[in-house]
Chains A and B, each alone.
Chain A
Amino acid sequence: MKSLVFALASAALLSACAGQQEGPKTAAGKPTRDLPVIDKNPFPSVYKPYASQPTLIRGVNIYDGAGGKIIGGEVLLVDGKVAAIGQSVAAPEGVTVIDGAGKWVTPGVIDVHSHLGNYPSPSVEAHQDGNEVTGANTADVWAEHGVWPQDPGFTRALAGGITTLHILPGSANLFGGRGVSLRNVPGRTVQEMKFPGAPYTLKMACGENPKRVYGSRNQKPGSRMGNIAVDRATWAKAQEYDRKWDEYEGKVKAGSAALKDVPARDIAMDTLRGVLDGEILVQNHCYRADEMALVLDMAKEFGYKVTTFHHAVEAYKIADLLKANGTCAAMWADWWGFKMEAYDGIRENLPFVHAAGGCAVTHSDDDLGIQRLNQETAKALADGNRAGLDIKPEAAWTWIGINAAKALGLDKEIGSLAPGKRADVVLWNGDPLSVYAKAEKVWIDGALMFDALSRMRPVSDFELGQPGEGDPK
């Protein structure tokens, strides 16, 4: 009996456990004897920051990720955290000093929508692990269970300044499963990459994909009406599940629970319950403005929040509505036209959402795009300003800085260079909003993990012994 999940699958096993003195434990170390409680973290992160040296970057230009800019400033990294940032900061003796003249520093770039590890390179049939396309509701699947840590894509993203990325299941299903936030450090296992304490997310999808995939199999949903109908029926069940477990847990707390009170466990419903309880954040794939508006009402009906719409190609049409609901929109700079719901894409989507006071986020959904989210942001910034807006470059950096962190519920830890935050830092060899800039050094929790100058870059197991091994790529 390896885990509580397994234990709960069988009432017989459960009762067999009940009288033991020292019951088995989950990976998180919690005992499973006596009355079961749901282990919310059965695959815990074992990531620990790698060794770091106190580092001072001097004379460097800074986009701080929260909308600020410093020209010729300083950033001090100590013990894996940002210790100080400013025009000049007090640094301890013996600190490693890096001359940042002519260079730029930003917080590590965050991609809120990636499939690295789930759809790794090489993109062969055996590697298609990003979408459980076997039912409209697969809220029981977890992206982390399909992440291959040896995906060379992680190393390319690192060279593009990515320090945190969020892996989401695909969009064939209405409820696609759980997403997971990763530190972009190489690992042997996904647990070595998991962002400690990061909230889980639930991937949902509206629009063309679910109704096409299941409708074509003569299953529900086969239309946009069916999409919402199945969503609502599922949320109604989730509310009932939530009530039963709340009631049971209340009894456990009061000391009045018995084994016969234990509700049936449903792994998919656990995730939906987490959403209703505000612990799991909804990441909703949705393109069209009218559909996003419907989803926002549905969320109100069932008492949950949509944290972020993904792709949101028509977010610019309802930027006011998104702002009023406190929902972020994670967008491409310029993708359009590949399907009907992407037909009205415009290059000003990000800046228009920003100008309305909304939470605009640049995302990639792509193993090449993730390598240059700075460039995608730069294009959208220029397009917005050409349309008459006046958005500062440092404000645009929030789209891959603090706004992206907010979209993942991680804004207290990452997304900006502020004292006490994780020292996820990129040193660029030029203004990173220019096409000519490349990441020169990348620190994750203060540890240098990439250095173009000394050619320090990870090479995945897959690429060892292959043509081009160790190339700057």
Chain B
Amino acid sequence: MKRLLSLLALTIATPAFAETVAIVNGKVATIARAEPIENGTVLIRDGRIVSVGSNVAVPADARVVDAGGGWVTPGLFAGYSRVGIVEVDAVSGTNDIQATSAPYAAAIDIAPAVNPLTTAIAVTRIEGVTRAAVMPDAGNDIFGGQGLVLSLGEGTPITRQQAFQYIVMGEDGARLAGGSRGALFARLADAFAEAAAYARNPAGYGYGRDRGSLLKRADAAALAKVISGEVPAVVSVNRASDIVNVLALKKAYPRLRLILAGAAEGWTVADKIAAAGVPVLASVAPNLPESFEALAATQSNVGRMIRAGVKVAIVPIGRDLNHQVRLIPQQAGNLVAQGRIPGGVQVSHAEALAALTRNPAEIFGLGGELGTLEPGKRADVVVWSGDPIELASAPTALFIDGRETPLVSRQTKLRDRYNPLKQDTLPKQYSR
């Protein structure tokens, strides 16, 4: 009960946006069921979905949005990103991803870094992404700090603060821990033991104030929530043997709620991941042995894990985490395409869509609020010009918490200014 209360406290209530909207004539992929509803209606009232179906009565006071036969889906949920905490990667003052010289690690809460007006949010939003898990990267320790779930709407920016702890294992973790995987697991065990000591008696926790202490008091407090299972741990890990070692942590820390991130070789131990009931945040495209911990990388990785019964959210590839989170539908399309060659794994269109919506929502404990189009859920709804995971498609209307958001970004303004169909007599700077 205590855990539930604390979760609720950190899930920020969104003020209801008072409007009734009926999206009609849509091919509605509720995600709650496999097949889309043809000629369906989604009724939204005051920020929540009221009803979904082919026989929904449209109230007289509803604003009607005609989907024109186009697909209607839940807003996409990027399960791994840095959207909202960096404006320009190479301009350090605008980049809050990593704290390489901070005295703290696990204690770092990324929430103050969120800038709802950073350009990447609108750029990402207008392509159908309405929520994103945002993680700090590890800079000086294997613990990156506390990430959050972001709303990309124009309302309350943070959906859930301190939603998880980000931990880096594998090659990067070994480096951060001092140079070996052995050191990495020693660091993890020691930090967790210290955190447990803190949890038993916070007032008596003396460590962390002395120079040379291995765990600051604030870090211990943050990690106590991880070992108690109050917040999940998103663990970056790729090599098969590393994955197995991470899964084994549940023996020592039974309340630990693991979420694997990366899992490049996950398919080789997919049965073990599935048996542990641990979900995975993974990308489709990476299929190169980029490192010795990703020798088995393949575009079939996600499909094979899904077939093994692992809950997978499709997340952006590494280079896309800040500005190109919007490309996750392309990855979902590639996942389906991979099933169409011999040796590939069949993944249905519905499964691919679920990996962009319901799965990430459930993985971050928001399955009751987001991820499907069902009565009572927050009205994150996207109307598409075509198949949502096809390259030529784009949103034609977008609702976040029931509020329609214009499909405008700094990029669309540049586009409109320089559109070759547009003739100007004065310099472009006069045109907007």
Contact = CB atoms under 8 A, between A and B. Distances in A.
A319 B120 CA distance: 25
Interface residues of B, number: 58
Contacts of A452: 341-342
Interface string A310-340: 0000001101000000000000001111111
B420 A319 contact: yes
A438 B337 contact: yes
Contact of A337 (B119, B268, B344): B119
Interface in B99-144: 119-120, 123
Contact of A433 (B297, B299, B391): B391
A328 B120 CA distance: 29
Contact of B394 (A346, A386, A472): A386
A166 to B, nearest CB: 19
Contacts of A381: 392
Contacts of B240: 467
B288 A337 contact: no
Contact of A453 (B295, B342, B416, B428): B342
Interface string B157-196: 0000000000000000000000000000000000000000
Contacts of A338: 88-90, 322-323
B296 A434 contact: no
A355 B287 contact: no
B288 A468 contact: no
B333 interface: yes
Grouping DSSP codes into helix (H, G, I), strand (E, B) and loop, the B interface class, with mixed when no group exceeds half, is: loop
Interface in B68-91: 87-91
B391 A375 contact: yes
B342 A467 contact: no
Contacts of A336: 123, 323, 411
B288 to A, nearest CB: 4
Nearest to B319: A366
Given A122-B292, A336-B411, A455-B343, 14 more contacts: A122-B291, A122-B294, A152-B288, A338-B88, A339-B91, A344-B414, A379-B330, A379-B391, A382-B393, A383-B394, A387-B416, A434-B391, A436-B390, A473-B298
A451 to B, nearest CB: 10
Contacts of B342: 452-453, 455, 472
A232 to B, nearest CB: 27
Given A346-B414, A368-B285, A356 B420 contact: yes
B288 A121 contact: yes
Contacts, number: 165
Contacts of B394: 382-383, 386
B91 A340 contact: yes
Contacts of B252: none
Contacts of B393: 382
Given A344-B414, A372-B334, A436-B333, A152 B89 contact: no
Would you list the 9 A-B pairs with minimal beta carbon distance, nearest first?
Answer: A435-B333, A468-B296, A382-B392, A337-B323, A467-B296, A339-B90, A472-B343, A378-B391, A121-B288
A466 B300 CA distance: 16
A429 interface: yes
Contacts of B253: none
A233 interface: no
Interface in B294-325: 294-300, 317, 319, 322-324
Contact of A467 (B268, B285, B411): B268
B336 interface: yes
A462 B291 CA distance: 12
A275 B313 CA distance: 50
B411 A429 contact: no
A316 B428 CA distance: 12
A383 B407 CA distance: 14
B305 to A, nearest CB: 14
